[in-house]
Amino acid sequence: MRMMMHFSAVVSMIVLLLGIPNSALAWGDEGHEVVCQIAYMELSPTARQRVDGLIAEDTEFREFARSCTWPDHPRQRASEHFLNVERSASKVTSGQPCGTAAKCVVTAIVNDTRDLAASPDGSDALRLLKSLGHWVGDIHQPMHVSFSDDRGGNKVSVTGPCDSNMHSVWDTCILQETIGEDAKTVAVDLRSEITQQERMDWSAGDVTLDTVLGWANESLDISRMPDVGYCVLKGDVCQYDDNRVVYEEGQQTRSVVVDEPYLQHQSERVRTRLKMAGVRLAAVLDKIFGEGDQVIAAANLRDFSLKRVVDARAAATPNVVPQLRNLALAPTVRDKQMAGVPTQDQIDALLVRVKELEAELIAMKSR
């Protein structure tokens, strides 16, 4: 594990020497795979079949989860992996969804969601699917909604087991040191923790610009928290350190102690962000992969509504064949009377069994 941490530090140094913003490498490959594996397991059967169909066309990846690392290898659409804000900003607003930049992870999600929903079977659908999975992971990594002068924590040194910088701590170190190193196993474990209430809280309703901004603001809230150690709050301003508002290139970097207590304390936040990203990505893809092939797209960013896009597509091509999962799963009145309302114990037992079956399936596929 320590060797992997040193490897990550070497990669970070190479990236910086080449002048590539390391903030393009959110969560590391494992984190992105965890998010997309959770999303894949959360998908409805119909949506999962559509995703499988697109991935089957890919010449590089055989699994959706692994395909979500694609925009990092090589780096693509560099400015759309993150969102830089002013150090005085406590919230990202619709008036400036990318701050002073023209593009960012917020617009990447909105644009790719719109384009994929508009043509889910189009020639560009595979690229959009892989990109969208990546962007949703990026926006849930707190160091990706941060400050440009310190490169999203790349210019904040750390001491301890992680032995690199603050960005790398949140990309990989917390995940690998406290949660696990195998993406599929971690995804199964994390998904088993998600409750139905959390699914509703995290992904209910339409997907709009405000929805995506909400995801960004959750990350910004975390990056500004004092116990994270990324910046130092002085009034409303989150300074680089006690004496410097911003970091200037060539200056000595500040150092934060990232020890075992820190890693354990932040572990729950990382677990939650990964679960949120997976559930939300699944909800977006479930909405996208409906019937029909013609869509009226939003006129501009603020008008975007995934529900409106999908509704327009459905209206253009009416769905006259009921979905199979509705026919198979919709209980009759007699079934409901006989079954009664399931208890929480029954639900928990089923979730445990689902986890066991998924682990068995993953093991079989890897043989």
Express as a percent the part of the chain with pLDDT over 90.
68
- How confident is residue 336, by pLDDT bands cut at 50, 70 and 90? very low
Q: What is the pLDDT of residue 7?
A: 36
- Could you give the CA distance from residue 164 to residue 169 in angstroms, rounded to a whole number? 7
Residue 320 pLDDT exceeds 80: no
Degrees, nearest 5: CA angle 28-205-131 = 30
Average pLDDT over residues 299-316: 72
How far lies 361's CA from each of 35, 188, 202, 273, 366, in Å?
18, 11, 27, 25, 9
Q: What is the pLDDT of residue 148?
A: 96
Q: What is the pLDDT of residue 300?
A: 61
User: So where are the chain's domains?
Assistant: 2-325, 331-367
Average pLDDT over residues 82-108: 95
* DSSP codes joined into one string, 187-218: HHHHHHH--HHHHHHHH-S--BHHHHHHHHHH
| pLDDT tens-digit readout, 198-244 | 999 999 889 999 999 999 999 999 999 999 999 999 999 999 999 99
Residue 197 pLDDT exceeds 70: yes
- Could you give the CA distance from residue 105 to residue 118 in angstroms, rounded to a whole number? 20
Residue 49 pLDDT exceeds 90: yes
- How confident is residue 311, by pLDDT bands cut at 50, 70 and 90? confident
Peptide bond into 74 cis (omega under 30): yes
- How confident is residue 326, by pLDDT bands cut at 50, 70 and 90? very low
- How confident is residue 319, by pLDDT bands cut at 50, 70 and 90? very low
**Mean pLDDT score of the chain, rounded to an integer?**
83
| pLDDT tens-digit readout, 244-302 | 999 999 999 999 999 999 999 999 999 999 999 999 999 999 999 954 333 344 456 77
Number of neighbours of residue 148 by Cβ within 10 angstroms:
19
Average pLDDT over residues 124-150: 97
For domain 2-325, the question of CATH label 1.10.575.10 is answered with: yes
Q: φ, ψ for residue 95 (rounded to 5)?
A: -65, -35
- The residue written with tokens 């399931």 in the block is 342
- Could you give the CA distance from residue 38 to residue 280 in angstroms, rounded to a whole number? 10
- How confident is residue 304, by pLDDT bands cut at 50, 70 and 90? confident
Residue 324 pLDDT exceeds 60: no
Global pTM value:
0.78
Segment among 18-27, 59-68, 128-137 with least mean pLDDT: 18-27
Q: What is the pLDDT of residue 358?
A: 66
